[in-house]
Structure 1
Amino acid sequence: MRNLTGHILFAGGGTAGHLFPGLAVAEYLREQAPRLRLTFAGTGKAFEQRHVERAAFDYVTLACRPFPRSAADALRFVAENFSGYYAARRYLRGQRVSLVVGLGGYASVPAARAAAGMGIPYLLLEQNAVPGRATRWLAPQAVTVCSAFEGLRPQLRKGCRVRVTGNPLRKSLVEHTAAQHNLPDRFGGRRTVLVLGGSGGARSLNEQAPRALYKAGAVLHGWKVVHQTGDRDVARTTELYRKLGIAAEVAPFLEELPRLMRESHLAVSRAGGTTLAELAASGLPAVVLPYPAATADHQRKNAEVFAAAGACRIVDEHGSGRLDDRLAQAFIELAADHPQRVRMAQAMATLARRRATQRVAQCVASLLADGRLAVA
């Protein structure tokens, strides 16, 4: 792999769940194939640019718009995405791009469609158990779809190529958990609950988790609370914890997330594919609230895979009764049941695919080396 040359464009992002798998693959390729040129193309969101530039990759912005949810959005969708498509064609031609890696979401569409029109191969990363609209649209012309979950192929058009690789994870997370994953040690010392509101902020989780922790009362006495809110909700959530008398550590984004996952005893989170993969790599049991408005209800499908293995507890956002009461009940039951948390942690760890980054990178390398995928 060290002698590989070419220019790879990682297209997409917008959220941590789409961006971080791409960064994981790009960082691995930079180590293993230092002659490659690696560039990211995205929406221009500050979060996206900050993390790409911090990882020392070049970044370009391509105009794009989410798939329309109403007729009123359709014209703007067509106009902006055509603009992005032609800008992508100019970039691919002018910068001699050899391969496009679509990271998922609407932001991957202009570059992948432009690549298809120019005869440049592209592959896709699909982080969820249900393919997103971008994956459904782009998969027929993709060299392959690298899937985090089993069972994706039947959900795509006949003839689409799928390889189950797992979800690529950042080196810091995989290395730490591989070297230091020790369940008995984890469950000694001060216990920590980690609340993950996501990079974009999960408003209902950010509002209800503090109230649920308060209602759990004495069962969680002595537990440390660390809460990632996303940029929008940090001030509001900090003030809510203050009013409830809970000494929580609140931040918009947790730079030390691998360490915190390794040291925590219970997580509360949405059920995005990348978040669940990180929890699995950390062997961290979780209470998950699938985002009810997710396309094709994919977060619930993700969560059901993990719940079936005994790795998480699902709490429906729109279930019967108050959400904070139902969350509090889950906290009370799991906080008081140490053996159950250990069993869930062990089940979570069995779902980890620790070599996912290498598997995706090998797909990329084989395409650059001889234009086709190596046999798995």
Structure 2
Amino acid sequence: MSALRINIVLFGIGNVGSTLINQVIESQKFFLEKRNIELRFPIITNSTLAFFEKGGIKNQWEANFAQSAIPFRIEDIIEYVQEQQLENLIAVDATASSDIVKNYIPLIQNGFDIVSANKKANTLHTDFYKELRRNLKKFDKSFLYETNVGAGLPVVQTIKELHFSGEEITKIRGVFSGSVSYIFNRFSSEELPFSKILAEAEKTGLTEPDSREDLSGNDVARKLLILAREIEQQVEFSDITISSLLLPNLNEDNSKAEYSVNKQLFDKPFHIAKITQADNHVLRYVGEFDIKSKQLEVKLISVPKSSALGQLKGADNLIEIYTKSYGELPIVIQGAGAGKQVTARGVLTDILKVAETIKIKEAVWLSL
């Protein structure tokens, strides 16, 4: 039986996108042997240019892109796949772009399944969220986004499966940011000023280029919103109470230069927060959704060192899922919550899930 050929249109060739291509190239033989699936990249794009490759991308994709990429519109991509009669189409969004998200519905309407590492589509207004899912249902297409929360960890899948198996989820709480996890894990265990640990996190590339994005709490809030919507809660980003880690005199209002040279202003308030805790407690920055009270919060809390959250190390994420059946004992999902390798691997896992769904649909169609 010939292999199922999957045509991937990749948006974004930054850290995650380029790592994904390389992972596919490395594992192509394995996927053919074990799953009878061939993954091709007929089109790859960055924010302004697209490379159209009739033979699929071989190992020299970077050189090909540099030499032959041309400006594109989404209509050009749809027209190209129709002209080439490409089937089994998956649009993979490895960007953080709002513009690509606006094109999800036209892509779905033109035969694409969607796999996304981009959180934007799941955090926009509920109207768009519902419209997107109406189109997925109408055109019988998939939209997978496991890497939206916890990079390669199976958080979205677990919460969705629990909810749709009839389990009552009562609370979701966790450390959702790898960069902020790293900062507080070190701050709790080492006698170093907060600003020094923050500077080291920036230097090693753990934070966003402007670390205020990490410290604002917005990223944690977006992930919490995504999970709340997975259990069919009608909530908006504005419903979340965010206690930012930024200071009244050191925040988004400052210029980037002012922020860079005044980070020592963080040291005193965080030192006070540290030394005024109960004994054997540590600080953790969490997102929490109490389903009964409908309260969504992003906040700094103090937890016992002996607790699951208290024992966090490195840049790990840890998500606790409290349910009616499990009572006071949460289901705990823990592991690397950031990094291009784990995120790309999570995207690839979603691609393969979509490919298996396409395979089943083909088998059903052939049996008719």
TM-score, normalising length from structure 1?
0.41
TM-score, normalising length from structure 2?
0.41
Higher RCO (C-alpha 8 Å, min separation 6): 2
Give the helix-richer structure, 1 or 2.
1
